[in-house]
Amino acid sequence: MSPHDDQADADLTLSATSYLALENSLFFDKGKRDIESSVQELLAVFRELDEYLGPGDVWLQGYQRDDAVSELVRGHGWMEVARAEDVLDDVLLRSGMAAFLLASLASNGFASPMVPRDDSFAVHALRQALSASDLGAQMALSDRYLHGRGVVQNCTEGMRLARGAAEILLQEAEADGSTGKQPLEAPLLRHRLRDGSYPWRLWDPATIAAHYDEAAGESGGILGALGAMGLRGAGGNRGALEELQDVQARAAGGDPYAMLELADRLVHGDMLPQNHAQALVLYQAAADLGDPGGVMALGYMHLHGFGTPVNVSAAIDYYEGAATMGYADACYYLGSLYGGLYEGVASERINLTLSEEKYQCAYAGNHYKAPYMLALIHEAGLGVPQNCTKAARYMRVVLAERSDWSANIQAAVKAHDEGDDWKALVMLGAAAEQGSAVAMHNAAFLLQHGRGYNGSDAAAVALELLLRAAAIEHQYGDGLVDAANLLLDADRYGIPGGPNHSRALSLYEEAAERHDVEAMTSLAWMHAAGMGTPANSTRALQLYWNAVERAPDAAHAAAPFLAYCWLHALVVVGLRLQEGVPGDERVRQDVANICILLGALWLVLWLRQTRSARANARRQ
């Protein structure tokens, strides 16, 4: 039975305040947590939303959505409230957020048995949450359609949903001026556990500031970053007039950063009369001093006809010059120009293949919008073969960089460090439902270690999360290794179907192709023991040595090196591991072989010592 089949009080309303209180009682505030009553409240809110929105396969748009909101609020006598339109939107939005949270719990089963795992109900709740304009639900449904999880796989529909979410996130970034800030990488719990050098501290404000300062100074080094700070009076209280005078003095002294700052002021009329011609002179002077920003600005001025007649061809040449100097913005503009997105581009200069190459250049330079454009190009097949899967991969980059995944994962890791594994697991589960591979890895890590959820299906859920992360083609092979480890010991973990050696072998192979040292070592062990494949000592030795060569340091190289030496010793003395022997028996077999070799070594040393003693006796 699905959770929404139960009966509940239909008089519940959900404002912003009550939703936040619900979140606090569910997982935010450990001291006030009441999971059972909070889940029941979530179910009641969803039943109310479900009743007013109608069937989940009818996605409301336009006046239908407005009518549903009005009916929802009118039923609770809220039409008298001031600013009724804001109240209408708020009620539906908060109800949608609650519906998404409930869908997440139904998807992963972390609140079982109150909300048992039920993929059909999770999809229904996500659709209702999307009808209520919840962005998280939109990303979650996109992920489900892209991978056929609970719905019929449909890359086109998945891309439609992902594209809509990406456009909202990009618009928000452009509105708040955060497009130039590179997102901080979310921490991986597995890396932190196994690598002592992995940065374990969460990002604090000082670290974030240093991170952005470093990124800002990449084109001009530390002096460039400090120069930009000085131009804007960073680090002290300065008046606007004093700052302008300082910029003018620096520009007159030949500082290219000051020239760019002064030219920008002239272009926009910032405390100076607008003067495009004078700005053009300053941009040219900065470009002559080798500043890529000056070259880039010249392209912009010629493209739009500021201070000079419009000359698209000249603009392209300037942008090409800036691109060769490593300016990602120039690459992005070139992608748009060669793609014919600007008027005045000569037909002979439109080149869709070259456009894709320039967007790739911008993507390599971390331009915030480059992955979005690449997604559109590969989805439509503009200058490249049409490839929806590849397009989805680029669109996922936009979602990962511009959504709150990283912030939520950092908050979840902090909760884990503070001993609140339930909160950590619920937050990670929500991000994983939206498609975050890092969240999937971290949630699986907690489940594997019995943190936050101790259900009998914890290992099976962890395996599912790890395989989902692998399907996204995340850059790390760790998840594949952990999934293979679970499959090898499926009986111990209670995973349905029992051990699957051939599947584990293929996962190790896939991770080894990503140069994962642990995967190479495990794969070598399977070839040596004949697990899931015929025993092959030669192949095993090769894999062990590959792992040694690929290891980033001596600590990572130690295990495969010792395993290589051990197997080589077995081969030399003619011992072989038996194929298909259970794990515990193989351990006993290894111990016996070690004892044999140690005994042989002791015998050799004893004989050498005896011969040496006899030789010394004869000399005397």
Residues 525 and 408 in one domain: yes
What is the band of 516 on the pLDDT scale with cuts at 50, 70, 90?
confident
- Residue span of the structural domain in which 286 resides: 223-394
Least confident of 209-213, 337-341, 437-441, 611-615: 209-213
Asked if residue 285 belongs to a domain, the reply is yes
Query: Is the separation of the CB atoms in 93 and 134 below 8 Å?
Result: yes
Which pLDDT value is given to residue 113? Answer: 87
Residues 569 and 449 in one domain: yes
Contacts of 330 (CB under 8 A, 6+ apart): 292, 295, 296, 299, 319, 320, 321, 322, 323
Q: What is the pLDDT of residues 365-412, one digit of tens each?
A: 999 999 999 999 999 999 999 999 999 999 999 999 999 898 889 889
Number of domains present in the structure of the chain: 3
Asked if residue 161 belongs to a domain, the reply is no
Which residue in 427, 442, 426 sits closest to 111, CA to CA?
Answer: 426
What is the band of 474 on the pLDDT scale with cuts at 50, 70, 90?
low
Residues 431 and 566 in one domain: yes
pTM of the model: 0.77
Residues 422 and 382 in one domain: no
Asked if residue 40 belongs to a domain, the reply is yes
What is the band of 20 on the pLDDT scale with cuts at 50, 70, 90?
low
Asked if residue 367 belongs to a domain, the reply is yes
Query: Is the separation of the CB atoms in 412 and 386 below 8 Å?
Result: no
Residues 387 and 406 in one domain: no
Asked if residue 612 belongs to a domain, the reply is no
Q: Residue 418 pLDDT > 60, yes or no? A: yes
Asked if residue 381 belongs to a domain, the reply is yes
Q: Kindly state the average pLDDT of the residues 488-501.
A: 86
DSSP secondary structure of 144-166 = HHHHTSSS---HHHHHHHHHHHH
For 189-231, what is the HEC assignment?
A: HHHHHHCCCCCCCCCCHHHHHHHHHHHHCCCCHHHHHHHHHHH
Domain boundary among 133, 162, 189: 133
Which pLDDT value is given to residue 178? Answer: 82
Which pLDDT value is given to residue 57? Answer: 42
Q: What is the pLDDT of residues 212-262, one digit of tens each?
A: 444 444 443 333 333 444 444 444 445 778 888 888 888 888 888 889 889
Residues 480 and 447 in one domain: yes
Rounded Cα distance between 123 and 421, Å, is: 26
Of all residues in the chain, the percent with pLDDT exceeding 90 is 31
Contacts of 416 (CB under 8 A, 6+ apart): 189, 424, 446, 451
Residues 32 and 74 in one domain: yes
Which pLDDT value is given to residue 591? Answer: 57
CA dihedral 454, 460, 466, 470 (to 10 degrees): -170
What is the band of 161 on the pLDDT scale with cuts at 50, 70, 90?
very high
Q: What is the pLDDT of residues 49-90, one digit of tens each?
A: 888 777 644 333 333 444 444 444 444 433 333 334 444 456
Kindly report the backbone phi and psi dihedral angles of residue 412, in degrees, each rounded to the nearest multiple of 5, phi listed first.
-65, -40
Query: Is the separation of the CB atoms in 331 and 345 below 8 Å?
Result: no
Q: Which of helix, strand or coil describes residue 131?
A: helix
Inter-CA distances, 360 with 334, 336, 353, Å: 11, 12, 11
Rg (CA), the chain: 31
CATH of the domain at 455: 1.25.40.10
Q: Kindly state the average pLDDT of the residues 316-341.
A: 91
Residues 240 and 319 in one domain: yes
Which pLDDT value is given to residue 589? Answer: 59
Which pLDDT value is given to residue 104? Answer: 93
Asked if residue 22 belongs to a domain, the reply is yes
Rounded Cα distance between 232 and 228, Å, is: 7
Residues 407 and 390 in one domain: no
Q: Kindly state the average pLDDT of the residues 36-51.
A: 82
Residues 376 and 415 in one domain: no
Which pLDDT value is given to residue 598? Answer: 65
Rounded Cα distance between 546 and 569, Å, is: 18
Domain boundary among 94, 109, 133: 133
Which pLDDT value is given to residue 551? Answer: 84
Asked if residue 184 belongs to a domain, the reply is no
Residues 344 and 439 in one domain: no
Q: What is the pLDDT of residues 90-129, one digit of tens each?
A: 677 778 888 899 999 999 988 888 888 999 999 999 999 8
Which pLDDT value is given to residue 21? Answer: 65
Q: Kindly state the average pLDDT of the residues 470-485.
A: 80
Which pLDDT value is given to residue 94? Answer: 78
Rounded Cα distance between 100 and 96, Å, is: 6
Residues 387 and 420 in one domain: no
Which pLDDT value is given to residue 244? Answer: 84
Which pLDDT value is given to residue 597? Answer: 60
Look at 72 and 566; give whichever has higher pLDDT. 566
Which pLDDT value is given to residue 376? Answer: 95
Domain boundary among 377, 394, 411: 394
